[in-house]
């Protein structure tokens, strides 16, 4: 029975990571819609999706209790703000043909988390971890040199997700409840933003094709579904499996970048190889931490 549960958990976990990994395919169906409008609609529909899912999971009571806790609301307002930067950067990268940047950003997330852990929580870094960070910095420097510009989307993705993880570190709420709270807090602002664009801007949603509108309508459940799958699978698999599995997401993004015809030449591969080498060293250090009973946080926030 334990092996059966573990195998089922692994299957569901891989399915969740696969959804996150192939997210660029979904977001490219919305390329005709402005990124800001997508972001605002995503917050509202994700909040509604979570409100539908929470009663099914029996967690709506936790959601209600959180609204009476000012300290919790402050934390989730902060994490929601960081989520805004993460989502917008990711959507922008995908819809402007920069899938490679999203891959770079999520490859950098674990390494940025190491640095933030050292700065904020005074966590000690091993020589392996410092070497991993240095290799990643060399890889990013190579990407900047090759592109002739700073990969802003990748950097914002990495910083916002790592900051998001820090903000959520003290939270005891589950992933769906937490996501529901974050998006519910910011949904009124999102609604105001959509109204402002409708009256004073040039909205792209009204002129979108019906199939595009149908795709956009699914974004709430598309956002919440992999989190729900992850929440179900995580207790049934080892932390080392979760930690290593998170690299499937940017790896799939990288493959999609190649598929979409983005420039992935030898110098780019060399730059990425430094980042991959850093991640290998990082994974070795994480394996050591896991063996000592410490957890790994690896939930993407796309």
Per-residue model confidence (pLDDT) at position 43: 94
Left, alpha or beta for 148 (phi > 0: left; psi -120 to 50: alpha)? left
Euclidean distance between CA atoms 54 and 47, whole angstroms: 11
Q: What is the pLDDT of residues 3-34, one digit of tens each?
A: 565 677 778 888 888 888 899 999 999 999 99
Q: Which residues of the chain have pLDDT under 70?
A: 1-6, 121, 123, 125, 147, 169-170, 234-235, 238-245, 283, 285-302
Contacts of 171 (CB under 8 A, 6+ apart): 72, 75, 76, 79, 178
In Å, how far are 51, 153, 216 from 43, measured between CA atoms?
A: 12, 20, 12
Euclidean distance between CA atoms 136 and 22, whole angstroms: 24
Per-residue model confidence (pLDDT) at position 287: 57
Tracing tokens 């959507």 back to the chain, one arrives at 91
Under 8 Å between Cβ of 19 and 229: yes
Q: What is the pLDDT of residues 31-44, one digit of tens each?
A: 999 999 999 999 99
Tell me the whole-structure pTM to 2 decimals: 0.82
C-alpha triplet 159, 160, 162: angle, nearest 5°: 65
CB atoms within 10 A of CB 115: 18
Per-residue model confidence (pLDDT) at position 286: 61
């Amino acid at each position: 029975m334990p092996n059966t549960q573990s195998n089922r958990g692994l299957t569901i976990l891989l399915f969740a990571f696969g959804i996150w990994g192939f997210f660029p395919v979904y977001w490219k169906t919305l390329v005709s819609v402005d990124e800001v409008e997508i972001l605002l609609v995503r917050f509202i529909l994700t909040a509604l999706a979570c409100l539908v899912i929470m009663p099914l999971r029996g967690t709506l009571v936790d959601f209600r209790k959180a609204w009476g806790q000012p300290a919790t609301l402050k934390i989730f307002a902060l994490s929601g703000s960081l989520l805004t930067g993460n989502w917008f950067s990711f959507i922008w990268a995908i819809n402007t043909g920069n899938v490679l940047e999203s891959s770079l950003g999520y490859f950098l997330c674990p390494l940025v988390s190491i640095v933030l852990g050292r700065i904020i929580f005074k966590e000690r870094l091993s020589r392996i971890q410092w070497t991993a960070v240095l290799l990643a910095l060399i890889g990013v420097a190579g990407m900047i040199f090759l592109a002739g510009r700073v990969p802003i989307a990748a950097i914002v993705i990495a910083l916002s997700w790592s900051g998001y993880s820090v903000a959520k570190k003290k939270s005891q709420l589950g992933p769906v409840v937490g996501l529901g709270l974050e998006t519910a807090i910011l949904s009124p602002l999102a609604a105001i933003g959509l109204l402002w664009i409708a009256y004073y801007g040039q909205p792209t949603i009204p002129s979108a094709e019906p199939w595009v509108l149908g795709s956009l309508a699914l974004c709430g459940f598309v956002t919440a579904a992999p989190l729900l799958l992850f929440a179900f699978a995580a207790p049934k698999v080892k932390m080392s499996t979760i930690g290593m599995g998170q690299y499937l997401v940017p790896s799939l993004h990288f493959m999609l970048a190649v598929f979409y015809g983005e420039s992935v030449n030898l110098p780019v591969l060399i730059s990425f190889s430094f980042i991959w080498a850093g991640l290998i060293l990082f994974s070795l250090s994480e394996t050591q931490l896991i063996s000592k009973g410490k957890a790994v946080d690896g939930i993407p926030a796309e």
